[in-house]
Amino acid sequence: MILDSMMPEWTRLILTMLAWTKLFRATPSPAKPVWATIGAVLRGATARAVRPGIMSAMLACAVPAFAQSAAPAQQAEPFDVQQLFASTCGWCHSDAGRVAGKGPQLMDTQRSDEFLRNRIKVGKPGAMPAFGEAFTDAQIDAIIAYIRALKPD
């Protein structure tokens, strides 16, 4: 597919970032994860032009593709749960989950681990994409442990 000028900027950026991670198994800048770069474009006027449901669908489709290209063979290698949370969950759970944003505050949540595990895997229609195919069980457990360890700044 040729990235032409008729495509919206956010579409070209997402396709470029996914191609970059697929080809080089890395983000263009280690200091700026793929989803942070995409978020910079999707904020502002572009975000208002794109319906929230479409953004959720794009994220739900793109995260599994990114996860497959970033960690193809070795699921046991270590990962940074804080970066994983920031680049994936941080879109909706503001201040690393400490305050409500588009999604609820996660710090001090009264929800059970099983509820959180299910919500991460299955999502909530119209509110949260499902990440069951994007994350391993170990990653989901690490995200839950991260949520449980959240403290005020």
Looking at the predicted structure, is the pLDDT value of residue 140 above 60? yes
Residue 3 lies in a domain: no
**Mean pLDDT of all residues in 86-104:** 86
The model's confidence at residue 115, banded by pLDDT at 50, 70 and 90, is: very high
pTM > 0.75: no
Q: Provide the CATH number for the domain around residue 96.
A: 1.10.760.10
Query: Which pLDDT score, from 0 to 100, does residue 30 have?
Result: 47
Would residue 95 count as lying in a domain? yes
Confidence tier at 11 by pLDDT (50, 70, 90): low
- Burial of residue 94 (CB within 10 Å: 0-12, 13-18, 19+) is middle
**Any domain includes 66:** yes
In this prediction, residues 83-97 reach a mean pLDDT of 85
**Is 2 inside a domain boundary?**
no
Query: Which residue did the predictor score with more confidence, 11 or 84?
Result: 84
Domain assignment of residue 32, yes or no: yes
Give the pLDDT of residue 94.
Answer: 82
* Position 29 pLDDT exceeds 60: no
Mean residue pLDDT across the chain:
72
Domain assignment of residue 18, given as a range: 9-148
Residue 118 lies in a domain: yes
Q: List, for residues 69-78, the tens digit of each pLDDT value.
A: 544 444 555 6
